[in-house]
Chains A and B, each alone.
Chain A
Amino acid sequence: DIQMTQSPSSLSASVGDRVTITCRASQNIATSLNWYQQKPGKAPRLLIFAASNFQSGVPSRFRGSGSGTDFTLTISSLQPEDFAAYFCQQSYSAPFAFGQGTKLEIK
């Protein structure tokens, strides 16, 4: 099974900052990588699919990149509503494992 390792597990930042979250797969998954945002008490929201494609309605400040085993989610200018948990997920082969998550907190 493919394992996903996400870092950092938590991150403190300020409104307006640029932040990057990384995700590493245990084997080559091409561009089969999704990113989700989750706010407390809510279901996750798909942000990016196939490594770099925006889900409908997602602001352009979110950018996904990478291929193979290494991927990044970059938020170019943090907004107050971006403080949440973020998860990567491989969609290459079942079981479609998630990373352990990154909690983005206000500094």
Chain B
Amino acid sequence: EVQLVESGGGLVQPGESLRLSCGASGFIFENYWMTWVRQAPGKGLEWVANIKEDGNEKYYVDSVKGRFTISRDNAKQSLHLEMTSLRAEDTAVYYCVRDRLELADWGQGTLVIVSS
């Protein structure tokens, strides 16, 4: 069974940084692209970033380019999202999702609140 467990969310002030992690199990992690999707409270889904199996290709939505960095550790079966210069509009539940095109397997999400 595919399991994705996010961690690292919390309350931070504007301008601060936060690192999200996602632990994966139940599949061969190094064989899959991985994706981060977020959802602001009461709002729709926003695709944030994805990363290729070997970590050599990464893509970002414009609103986070230059501030967020996606990375992975295949040996530890983990996915990360380094978030810097956080803004109020980054407040959301962040989901870790397996794959690139058809997002069938999602974690439960971790909540990030950016507020002073």
Interface set of A (CB-CB < 8 Å, partner B): 1, 32, 34, 36, 38, 43-44, 46, 49-50, 55, 85, 87, 89, 91, 94-101
**Cβ-defined contact, A1 with B45, below 8 A:** no
Determine which of A1, A32, A43 lies in contact with B107 in the assembled complex, contact meaning CB atoms within 8 Å.
A43
Q: How many angstroms from the CA of A1 to the CA of B62 in the assembled complex?
A: 9
**Cβ-defined contact, B45 with A98, below 8 A:** yes
Report the interface size class on chain B. Answer: 20 to 34
B81-116 CB mask vs A (1 if < 8 Å, else 0) is 000000000000001000011111011110000000
- Tell yes or no: B27 within 8 A of A by CB: no
Interface set of B (CB-CB < 8 Å, partner A): 35, 37, 44-47, 50, 59-62, 95, 100-104, 106-109
Q: How many angstroms from the CA of A72 to the CA of B103 in the assembled complex?
A: 19
Please give, as numbers and ranges, the residues of chain A lying within 8 Å of B106 by CB-CB distance: 43-44
With A1-B62, A43-B106, A95-B59 as known contacts, state yes or no: A87 contacts B101, CB within 8 Å. no
Please give, as numbers and ranges, the residues of chain B lying within 8 Å of A101 by CB-CB distance: 44-45
**Cβ-defined contact, A94 with B44, below 8 A:** no
With A43-B95, A43-B108, A87-B45 as known contacts, state yes or no: A95 contacts B102, CB within 8 Å. no
**Cβ-defined contact, A55 with B45, below 8 A:** no
**Cβ-defined contact, A44 with B59, below 8 A:** no
- 17 residue pairs bridging A and B, Cβ less than 8 Å apart: A34-B103, A38-B45, A43-B108, A43-B109, A44-B95, A46-B102, A46-B104, A89-B45, A91-B100, A91-B101, A91-B102, A94-B59, A95-B62, A96-B35, A96-B47, A98-B44, A101-B44
Q: B48 — nearest CB in chain A belongs to which residue?
A: A95
